[in-house]
């Protein structure tokens, strides 16, 4: 390289980076609150396009494959397509993404509570591609979980690009998730409520406007490109009357129990795939076989199942049976009831087999699907058992069931109510939707305190909730409160050596460790004050004689909520932190209180 070229490179390197100059200009000329609104709009726009793209890909793959399927009798391609979808998704994740992208909503929750709302850039597209292959080939999951992860990642990475604070990143993650839900369902209110009830972000004066803008932007985009048709076609042919309320209450309890069954089976199957099947190829093989077999016997389990929902909301259950091996029995009411009951039971198996086998999808659509089937099953059964009475509207109850099971599975009653109403236009059934959702939620809460998305994070103490105290403790990290300026001593040291250490330290607490770094005990200055000025004991007294056991030891991976409980139980102000017995440092109650105050003020700043 010539001297001129070298000088030119050095001159260029000395110039301020253009992007950094823009960021400095933005900080000077655009207030943070105004800039967050701009970012929320961009997040809504990109999240809406991502939702449209995902729906387009799923429809394109599914319609192309199903042109080769007969609508009656045995469809042997159902034994092939789901298996291919799982294998393709597995290979894509393993060889291209090289990262775990399953459980999209749970990963968003984890990023909020444990990773300062930072999501990897590949999450902006990887879930879209993998879920399109999974669902398009028949995977019995929903596209909503992946689009939530995609939208949240778009918001997070936009915020990171513009060097926004963790507090703003959290809002933008919520904006992206709201945009994903609003764009894929054309349900802006449900998008906002999703971030409040499922992601558990607080609705403050700072967050409310960005969430609304993102959600409305994505929904508007969906209306522009796909028209004003609702997601599900529903015409309320029978008005709801108050005499039906006892049946609505009973349906709410039934939806709560079905939600519990769905959640427990999903967890059981996930544990089976994770702990019993040691390699991903074994998981793909077993998952593909289970899924293909279930879809072959019950074709309505293919894909998201929205066509089956439309048929039930249209009052045409016989067409569901007619597309299966059992089409000849489609006119028998008891057989229809048995068929739909089997679908309710097997949907959880099909969904967990899809995800456990390596497919990528969410439980959003499956909960809507199971809810619709449950509501229809309930009303259909009541009408058979009470032939002389005024029949229940199977369409109305199918709609209520959608809200009921979604409310129970996701622990989100408000979102379930508004999402069901926005997707179907069933606002005239608002009162029964509210009753079913509330009772279903109350029923499952008796057995499961956390939703299907949050239970594992809650067990590990990594869940951010609306409980302010727990939320702040969750945001605190152990490594930020550990103090390591304590001078360690050895058990064989004599009192003279101990006094020398004390003279060099500004602490009144000393950890006692062995040559391997294992914590053996502590020495408190107050406990040896009466002997430290006696020279006659300097050679005779050793640390092992006057050291004491600490009130408790804190493992380095303990949750902060657990740490505070230990402090409360022991009454101590300083406790040692160990990593499998090895001394790490000390944590003090005063340090935690100071950090607690700082985090609380930071994330509550309006």
Return the axis-axis angle of helices 364-385 and 333-356, rounded to nearest 10°. Answer: 160
| pLDDT for 371 | 96
Angstrom distances, CA of residue 483 to CA of 556, 572, 574: 12, 16, 10
| pLDDT for 436 | 96
Structure tokens at 572: 């101590």
The DSSP code for 318 is H
Strands 482-483 and 582-588, sheet pairing? antiparallel
| pLDDT for 15 | 46
Angstrom distances, CA of residue 134 to CA of 85, 205, 357, 426: 5, 39, 10, 31
| pLDDT for 559 | 75
The DSSP code for 465 is -
| pLDDT for 601 | 60
Calpha distance 476→541 (Å, rounded): 41
Closest CA to 153 of 172, 168, 166, 134: 172
CB 501 within 8 A of CB 578: no
Calpha distance 275→338 (Å, rounded): 33
| pLDDT for 420 | 92
Angstrom distances, CA of residue 534 to CA of 389, 508, 544: 97, 19, 18
HEC letters along 288-315: HHHHHHHHHHCHHHCCCCHHHHHHHHCC
Write down the H helix ranges in 505-559.
525-528, 543-546
CB 320 within 8 A of CB 340: yes
Calpha distance 90→84 (Å, rounded): 10
Return the axis-axis angle of helices 394-410 and 245-271, rounded to nearest 10°. Answer: 50
Structural domains for the chain: 29-226 (1.10.3080.10), 242-469 (1.10.3080.10), 478-603 (3.10.580.10)
| pLDDT for 5 | 52
Per residue in 354-377, pLDDT tens? 999 999 998 889 999 999 999 999
Per residue in 11-53, pLDDT tens? 544 445 888 888 888 888 888 888 999 999 999 999 999 999 9
CB 290 within 8 A of CB 349: yes
Calpha distance 367→347 (Å, rounded): 9
Given a cut of 70, the residues of the chain with pLDDT beneath it are 1-16, 68-74, 322-331, 458-476, 596-606
The residues that bridge with 554 in the sheet, in sequence order, are 577
Per residue in 75-127, pLDDT tens? 778 888 998 999 999 999 989 998 888 877 888 888 887 777 889 999 999 99
Strands 574-579 and 582-588, sheet pairing? antiparallel
Residue with tokens 């298996």: 83
Element (H, E) at 482: strand 482-483
CB 463 within 8 A of CB 559: no
The residues that bridge with 586 in the sheet, in sequence order, are 483, 576
Structure tokens at 407: 């409310």
Furthest CA-CA distance within the chain: 103
């Amino acid at each position: 390289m010539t001297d001129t070229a070298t000088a030119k490179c050095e001159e260029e390197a000395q110039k301020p980076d253009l992007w950094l100059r823009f960021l400095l200009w933005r900080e000077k000329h655009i207030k943070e609150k105004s800039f967050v609104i701009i970012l929320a709009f961009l997040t809504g726009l990109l999240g809406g396009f991502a939702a449209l793209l995902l729906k387009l890909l799923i429809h394109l793959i599914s319609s192309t494959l199903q042109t080769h399927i007969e609508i009656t009798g045995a469809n042997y391609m159902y034994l092939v397509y789901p298996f291919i979808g799982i294998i393709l998704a597995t290979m894509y994740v393993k060889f291209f993404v090289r990262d775990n992208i399953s459980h999209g909503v749970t990963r968003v929750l984890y990023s909020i509570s444990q990773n300062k709302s930072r999501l990897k850039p590949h999450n902006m597209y990887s879930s879209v591609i993998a879920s399109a292959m999974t669902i398009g080939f028949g995977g019995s999951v929903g596209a909503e979980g992946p689009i939530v992860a995609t939208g949240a990642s778009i918001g997070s990475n936009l915020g990171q690009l513009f060097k926004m604070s963790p507090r703003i990143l959290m809002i933008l993650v919520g904006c992206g998730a709201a945009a994903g839900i609003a764009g894929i369902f054309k349900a802006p209110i449900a998008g906002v409520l999703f971030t409040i009830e499922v992601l558990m972000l607080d609705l403050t004066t700072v967050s409310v406007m960005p969430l609304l803008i993102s959600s409305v932007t994505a929904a508007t985009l969906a209306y522009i490109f796909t028209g004003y048709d609702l997601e599900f076609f529903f015409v309320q042919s029978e008005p709801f009357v108050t005499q039906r309320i006892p049946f609505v209450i009973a349906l709410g309890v039934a939806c709560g129990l079905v939600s519990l069954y769905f959640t427990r089976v999903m967890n059981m199957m996930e544990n089976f795939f994770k702990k019993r099947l040691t390699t991903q190829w074994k998981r793909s093989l077993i998952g593909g076989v289970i899924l293909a077999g279930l879809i072959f016997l019950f074709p309505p389990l293919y894909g998201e199942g929205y066509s089956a929902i439309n048929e039930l909301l249209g009052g045409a259950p016989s067409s569901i049976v007619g597309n299966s091996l059992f089409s000849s029995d489609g006119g028998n009411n008891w057989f229809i009831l048995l068929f739909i009951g089997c679908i309710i039971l097997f949907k959880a198996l099909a969904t967990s087999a899809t995800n456990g086998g390596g497919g990528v999808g969410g439980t959003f659509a499956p909960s809507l699907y199971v809810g619709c089937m449950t509501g229809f099953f309930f009303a259909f059964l009541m009408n058979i058992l009470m032939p002389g009475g005024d029949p229940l509207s199977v369409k109305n109850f199918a709609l209520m069931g959608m809200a009921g099971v979604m409310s129970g599975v996701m622990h989100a009653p408000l979102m379930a109510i508004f999402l069901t109403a926005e997707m179907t236009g069933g606002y005239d059934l608002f009162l029964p939707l509210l009753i079913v959702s509330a009772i279903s939620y109350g029923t499952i809460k008796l057995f499961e305190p956390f939703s299907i998305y949050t239970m594992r994070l809650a067990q590990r103490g990594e869940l951010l909730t609306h409980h302010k105290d727990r939320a702040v403790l969750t945001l605190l990290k152990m490594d930020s409160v550990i103090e390591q300026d304590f001078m360690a001593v050895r058990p064989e040291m004599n009192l003279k050596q101990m006094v020398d250490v004390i003279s060099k330290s500004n602490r009144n607490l000393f950890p006692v460790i062995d040559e391997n770094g294992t914590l053996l005990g502590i020495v408190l200055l107050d406990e040896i004050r009466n002997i430290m000025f006696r020279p006659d004991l300097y050679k005779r007294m050793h640390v092992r004689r006057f050291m004491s056991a600490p009130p408790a030891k804190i493992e380095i991976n303990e949750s902060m909520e657990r740490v505070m409980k230990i402090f409360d139980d022991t009454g101590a102000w300083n406790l040692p932190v160990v990593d499998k017995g090895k001394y790490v440092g000390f944590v003090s109650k005063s340090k935690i209180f100071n950090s607690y105050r700082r985090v609380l003020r930071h994330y509550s700043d309006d």
